[in-house]
Amino acid sequence: MDRAQATAAAARDLVVERPQGLYCPPGDFYIDPWQPVERAVITHAHADHARRGHARYLASAEGEGVLRARMGADIELQALHWGEVVEHRGVCISLHPAGHVLGSAQVRLEHTGQVWVVSGDYWLSGHEAEANPTCTPFEPVRCDCFITESTFGLPIYRWQPQAALFAEINAWWADNAAAGRASVLMGYAFGKAQRLLAGVDAAIGPIVVHGAVEPLNAAYRAAGVALPPTHRVTELPKEALRRALVLAPPSVAGSPWLRRFGEASDAFASGWMALRGARRRRGVDRGFVLSDHADWPGLQRAIAATGAPRVIVTHGYEAVMVRWLQEQGCQAGAFRTEYGDEAIEAEASGMEEGTADGRDPGEAAR
């Protein structure tokens, strides 16, 4: 391609970088912008992708409840069903499941014969038959250009089958319950906590959830996701707490909230637990490798399934992914974004729910 051709091609790009976020020039709207804008298409309600202050929001109908719970009930929101098409300034926009958290969407844009897809965050693994049971599974969408996340875009990240992982979690809980110790399992309040709930064996004992987790459980249940019965800590007698699984956000670590459980075993569930030393740095007894993001084989499967000759890589290990894609004969590049789930998400679930110090907001009202 000579310079004039390259400029002409770039002028037709359906998504470009702007200081406010990823921007669609013909449609004059943004996707998951990090600064306030007039029109924002939101892939999902995690704090680094869905920010307050936009004039108009477009998001999936599946995620409407959870988005309103986090952004405010009064946001100006147009909700789309999966695959439903709206046209805006000649750009056809539709949303397709990403399998990451409740309501998580990929954004498909079609304009003058070109199709681009922005993935947001997505989950699938190298194990073909597996899906995240707490939301609609990832659906590959054919496109000319795929903008992919790469949070775990290194060959070292390979998730084990979910059944094997949950067998480990259940065995840890059952051992603790038999010894009269509570099992405190920390994970992010939105997405991870519900994944854990849906996967554990509720016959082992009662399940207690921290007040930061409960409103999100309610949104999931309202959307039709089956979760086992859960209790607030104040609802159970002390003896029952000694057999309980306690689901709480990471902000409770070292907080007074945990003291009521007495002697307890603690654990952390995150994709980062795959890294050597991560469990020790968290100072917990156990680390369980559970992620809401695609692992390395999952990213490769997802990208291949789009058939896209061009791929643009965002947040994560961009350089490694770009080099790998170029080796596969793909036209690959990267966008700089301000996404980066876990830190911002952790901070947000602390701030939004008033639990930065581990306090339980549900209890303050009692």
Binding site for Zn ion (CB under 5 A): 46, 121, 339, 341
The minimum distance between CB 114 and Zn ion, in angstroms, equals 25
Nearer Cβ to Zn ion (46/68)? 46
Nearer Cβ to Zn ion (33/205)? 33
Nearer Cβ to Zn ion (35/328)? 35
H or E segment to which residue 42 belongs: none
Confirm if 313 and 325 have CB atoms less than 8 A apart.
Answer: yes
The minimum distance between CB 325 and Zn ion, in angstroms, equals 19
Question: Rounded to 5 degrees, what are φ and ψ at 115?
Answer: -120, 125
The minimum distance between CB 186 and Zn ion, in angstroms, equals 18
The minimum distance between CB 75 and Zn ion, in angstroms, equals 18
Nearer Cβ to Zn ion (49/108)? 49
The minimum distance between CB 43 and Zn ion, in angstroms, equals 8
Integer CA distances (angstroms), 150 to 78, 111, 117, 169, 244, in order: 28, 26, 15, 27, 36
The minimum distance between CB 124 and Zn ion, in angstroms, equals 14
Strands of 16-18's sheet in order across:
16-18, 21-24, 29-31, 39-41, 56-60, 77-80
Q: Which residues contact 271 (CB under 8 A, 6 or more apart)?
A: 151, 152, 157, 159, 289, 290, 291, 292, 293, 295
CA dihedral 138, 105, 227, 126 (to 10 degrees): 30
Burial of 31 (0-12, 13-18, 19+ CB in 10 A): buried
The minimum distance between CB 160 and Zn ion, in angstroms, equals 21
Confirm if 125 and 289 have CB atoms less than 8 A apart.
Answer: no
The minimum distance between CB 151 and Zn ion, in angstroms, equals 6
Nearer Cβ to Zn ion (122/173)? 122
Confirm if 317 and 203 have CB atoms less than 8 A apart.
Answer: no
SS3 call for 244: coil
Nearer Cβ to Zn ion (110/149)? 149
Confirm if 95 and 60 have CB atoms less than 8 A apart.
Answer: yes
Q: Which residues contact 298 (CB under 8 A, 6 or more apart)?
A: 123, 124, 125, 126, 159
SS3 call for 96: strand
The minimum distance between CB 314 and Zn ion, in angstroms, equals 8
Provide the token pair at 111.
């304009």
Question: Rounded to 5 degrees, what are φ and ψ at 117?
Answer: -130, 130
Cβ atoms < 10 Å from Cβ of 265: 18
Q: What angle do CA 319, 298, 313 make, to 5 degrees?
A: 30
Nearer Cβ to Zn ion (190/268)? 190
The minimum distance between CB 49 and Zn ion, in angstroms, equals 6
Nearer Cβ to Zn ion (54/243)? 54
